[in-house]
Amino acid sequence: MVGKVFENGFALDLLPSTDDYHEGVIVENLEITAPMAPEVFGARLRASISEWKRKGKKGVWIKFPLELANLVESAIKEGFRYHHAEPSYLMMTYWIPQSPCMLPANASHRVRVGAIVLNDKREVLVVQEKSGILRGRGLWKIPTGMVDKDEDIEAAATREVKEETGIDTEFKDILLFRQSHKAFFDKSELFFLCILRPLSFDIQKQDLEIEAAQWLSLEEFAAQPFVQQNDLCECITDLCLARANHDYSRFVPVVTPARSIPDKGLQYVYLNAKTLLRGESF
Amino acid sequence: MVGKVFENGFALDLLPSTDDYHEGVIVENLEITAPMAPEVFGARLRASISEWKRKGKKGVWIKFPLELANLVESAIKEGFRYHHAEPSYLMMTYWIPQSPCMLPANASHRVRVGAIVLNDKREVLVVQEKSGILRGRGLWKIPTGMVDKDEDIEAAATREVKEETGIDTEFKDILLFRQSHKAFFDKSELFFLCILRPLSFDIQKQDLEIEAAQWLSLEEFAAQPFVQQNDLCECITDLCLARANHDYSRFVPVVTPARSIPDKGLQYVYLNAKTLLRGESF
């Protein structure tokens, strides 16, 4: 939508916008319109808000690329607030109606994986990290790391193991997951503990982040004071032992074509292994 | 850390910063220092970067509250990029070394819940929504919604059911979860499908978002064309039936005191019910 309104006798272009599925509008590609002084942008924004209000629109989204940071203050003056940001852009929102704001919140969680790589000798692949809160404490821990943008949980687990230790692995399943809050600034975290089978055994540690890496018996891993003082670590070793005895049923990923969302390709659904083994659904 | 450096013969206060656990620095509470013109901020930032570099610091975090949006452009000029934003502030980062940036990425996922509320007659609680991509298509769907900031998955599931239908429920377990990408702008989504037991039966639908709500037999729910064309919906009904027959083992939440992180209170760990029933660990 591009239109004009008149303010003080001058023709003012409305901001280019598209409608969304929730009775709102999205302003994008501002950088390809002519450069604007902050005052001009402010006037166009005010005029556009009036027009959107007249049409009964609710939420307004404006995407500011890095090079238009000079317009952000004008948007704040018109009542806009930050919604989310990525390295190259800032998304701001405004709720037009008097009713409570119904705009969806920003991404709230980061997702982290831990990788338990168990070999046939019941040894677990462990590392010591060079930085972070655990450095210099001699603690042997499993490889862990953040799930990258657009990365599947199982891909993240195999990637982290390969990066930190050089070991190739095959993803088996998810043993457990944990939700915790205020994990990273104001954000929450979902931590997925994965089981992987090693496909190679010769450790080549990464120098940047990793101080040392080795295969350690599950018993020695469990005997570390840090592990014994930490519920989750204790739980990990208990579950590892349960799994080694084949009596723990767990979540496994199933690839499903995203039929209802044709452009989104494949998706992973995690569900209980026992259902699969019975050959039900999927 | 607050210090002074000299630029062109003038004493220049360094920006106040604290060290983090990863050889980096965090600049916060800029709003409580004296107001600064963007040029003064730019000069102080340049001087501070030189000083941090001299000390071998790596990542720099600066938090800009809404009222300091006028300083954002200066930070971009010095090489800073957006990291994340919440309604009232924008976090920017800069990586000092020549090596690849090791700063953790922004929160990457939003978390959504779906709530299957099954009564003793094998009827499922369903709603029709007023807005969104499914509106006006006559589809009966289960209550779904976003997990709020700092909210536990199980709390989100019971809250959404209560908000949309007025029904009180008790959370039972997580049936499955799905990870999908590009679900919301550039962000990914984790969708947790939860099973709840109804504690009340008289539906009081919410008017703002919900067109209609009712109890529907599992068979009628499953017979809807939309459900049959959608892998996840199909899977939901299959798993519901499996669960109704008590032969699906699932993830249940266990509360564990976060002993290793004393100020974080309780955490939920989700693990397989069978392990619990055997009385292992926890």
- Whether residues A176 and A60 share a domain: the answer is no
Q: Is A31 a catalytic residue?
A: no
Option in B21, B84, B181 nearest A150 (CB): B181
Kindly state whether residue A226 falls inside one of the protein's structural domains. Answer: yes
For the stretch A74-80, contacts whose Cβ atoms lie closer than 8 Å and that sit 24 or more positions apart, written own/partner, are A74/A38, A74/A39, A74/A41, A74/A42, A74/A45, A75/A41, A75/A45, A76/B66, A76/B69, A77/A42, A78/A42, A78/A45, A78/A46, A78/A49
Does residue A81 form part of some domain?
A: yes
Q: Is there a single domain that holds both residue A140 and residue A214?
A: yes
* CA distance linking residue A66 with residue B73, whole number of Å: 9
Tens digits of per-residue pLDDT, A163-186?
999 999 999 888 788 888 888 777
Strands A169-184 and B210-217: unpaired
A120 and A68 in a common domain: no
Same structural domain for residues A55 and A183? Answer: no
Cβ neighbour number for residue A113 with a 10 Å cutoff: 27
CB contact under 8 A, B258 and A148: no
State ipTM: 0.78
Q: Is residue A103 one of the residues assigned to a domain? A: no
- A-chain residues within 8 Å CB-CB of B190? 109, 111, 190
How far is the C-alpha of A144 from the C-alpha of A247, rounded, in Å?
A: 25
| Contact between B16 and B33 (Cβ < 8 Å) | yes
Alpha carbons B269 and B45: distance in angstroms, whole number: 43
Q: Is residue B258 part of a domain?
A: no
Q: Is the pLDDT score of B214 beyond 70?
A: yes
Q: Average pLDDT of chain A? A: 82
- Read off the CATH number of the domain in which B40 is found: 3.40.630.30
pLDDT range class, residue B252, cuts 50, 70, 90: low
* Burial class, B32, CB count within 10 angstroms (exposed 0-12 / middle 13-18 / buried 19+): exposed
Catalytic residue among A23, A28, A151, A163: A163
Provide, for chain B, the percentages of residues in helix, strand and coil under a 3-state DSSP scheme, each rounded to the nearest 5. 25, 35, 35
Residue finishing a domain among A48, A70, A95:
A95
Distance CA B190, CA A56 (A): 32
Burial of A206 (0-12, 13-18, 19+ CB in 10 A): middle
B104 domain residue, yes or no: no
Q: Which of A140-149, A200-209, B179-188 has the lowest mean pLDDT?
A: B179-188
Query: Rounded to whole angstroms, how far apart are CA atoms B114 and A1?
Result: 35
* A234 and A128 inside one domain: yes
Same domain? A242 vs A264: no
Between chains, do B76 and A69 touch, taking CB under 8 Å as contact? yes
Residues of chain A positioned with their CB less than 8 A from the CB of B269: 176-178, 231-232, 235
* Per-residue pLDDT at A38 exceeds 80: yes
Quick one: A50 and A119 in the same domain? Answer: no
Query: Are B138 and B244 part of one and the same domain?
Result: yes
Considering B163, B189, B209, B211, which one is annotated as catalytic? B163
Minimum mean pLDDT range among A139-148, A243-252, B115-124, B271-280: B271-280
Q: Give Cβ neighbours of residue A248 (< 8 Å, ≥ 6 apart).
A: A175, A239, A242, B272, B274, B275
Structure tokens at B268: 């939920």
| pLDDT over 50 at A260, yes or no | no
Contact criterion met (CB below 8 Å) for B88 and A82: yes
d(CA B259, CA A250): 26
Full residue range of the structural domain in which residue A259 is found? 249-282
10 Å CB burial of residue A248 (0-12, 13-18, 19+) is buried
Rounded to whole angstroms, the Cα distance separating A41 from A14 reads 10
Lowest mean pLDDT among A15-19, A208-212, B53-57: A208-212
Indicate yes or no: CB of B85 within 8 angstroms of CB of A91: yes
Q: Which pLDDT does position A257 carry in this prediction?
A: 46
Overall average pLDDT of the B205-214 stretch: 90
Determine whether the interchain pair A85/B83 forms a contact, defined as Cβ–Cβ distance below 8 Å. Answer: yes
Nearest CA in chain A to B250: A272
- Residue found by looking up tokens 């019971």 in the block: B158
Query: Are residues B117 and B55 both part of a single domain?
Result: no
State pLDDT tens for residues B83-115: 999 999 999 999 999 988 889 888 889 999 999
Domain count, chain A: 3
- CA-CA distances (angstroms) from residue A28 to A25, A63, A82? 10, 5, 15
Q: How far apart are CA A125 and CA A113, in angstroms?
A: 15
Q: Is residue A102 part of a domain?
A: no
- Between CA B172 and CA B254 the distance in angstroms is 12
Residues A119 and A168 reside in one and the same domain? yes
Which range is most confident: B124-128, B136-140, B191-195, B241-245?
B124-128
Give the mean pLDDT of chain B.
Answer: 82
Structure tokens belonging to residue A236: 């990990």
C-alpha pair distances (Å), A175 with each of A114, A190, A230, B82, B260: 10, 13, 17, 35, 21
CATH code assigned at B126 = 3.90.79.10
A-B Cβ pairs (cutoff 8 Å, strict): 265
Better-scored residue on pLDDT, B203 or A243: B203
CA A44 to chain B, closest CA, distance in angstroms equals 20
pLDDT over 70 percentage in chain A:
76
Domain assignment of residue A100, yes or no: no
Last residue in a domain, options B40, B72, B95: B95
Last residue of a domain, one of A65, A95, A125: A95
Token output for A162: 């390969």
Task: Give the residue among A245, A276, A252 at the shortest CA–CA distance from A196.
Answer: A252
Picking from B69, B86, B63, the residue whose alpha carbon sits closest to that of residue A73 is B69
* Residue whose pair of structure tokens reads 């978002």 in the numeric block: B209
Both B81 and B116 in a single domain? Answer: no
In a domain, A104, yes or no: no
**pLDDT confidence of residue A116:** 92
**Residue A79 shares a structural domain with residue A179:** no
Whole-angstrom Cα distance, residue A127 to residue A138? 10
Q: Tell me the C-alpha to C-alpha distance, in Å, between residue A202 and each of A162, A167, A168, A199, A215.
A: 11, 7, 9, 10, 10
Residue B255 has pLDDT above 60, yes or no: no
